[in-house]
């Protein structure tokens, strides 16, 4: 299954005035693109972004989508 990337550019725009949140977007990008992505690390970055009001809806919509949940389930079961 292809990696279902979040809308990085939109997220960066949403949090452009928050250096910590910008770092969370970069950390999420790095975790998703790691040689062996880890569900827990991705969830941690998503949680950080959910805590930012301007990014909360966008990151939740991506993370909770069925495609992303299926991909994450594959990570948890060693499917990649």
Query: For residue 70, how many other CB atoms are within 10 A of its CB?
Result: 12
Residue 14 has pLDDT above 60, yes or no: yes
Residue 79 has pLDDT above 70, yes or no: no
The two tokens of residue 34 are 């790691």
Whole-angstrom distance, CA of residue 70 vs CA of residue 56: 21
- pLDDT at residue 78, as a whole number: 59
How confident is the model over 22-76, as pLDDT tens digits? 999 999 999 999 999 999 999 999 999 999 999 999 999 999 999 999 999 998 7
Confidence grade of residue 1 (pLDDT, cut at 50, 70, 90):
low
- pLDDT at residue 80, as a whole number: 45
Q: Which residue has the tokens 């040689």?
A: 35
């Amino acid at each position: 299954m292809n990696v279902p990337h979040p809308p990085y550019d939109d997220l960066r725009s949403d949090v452009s005035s928050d250096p910590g949140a910008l770092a969370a977007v970069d950390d999420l990008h790095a975790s998703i693109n790691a040689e062996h992505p880890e569900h827990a690390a991705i969830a941690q970055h998503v949680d950080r972004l959910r805590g930012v009001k301007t990014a909360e809806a966008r990151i939740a919509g991506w993370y909770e989508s069925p495609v992303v949940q299926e991909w994450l389930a594959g990570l948890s079961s060693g499917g990649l």
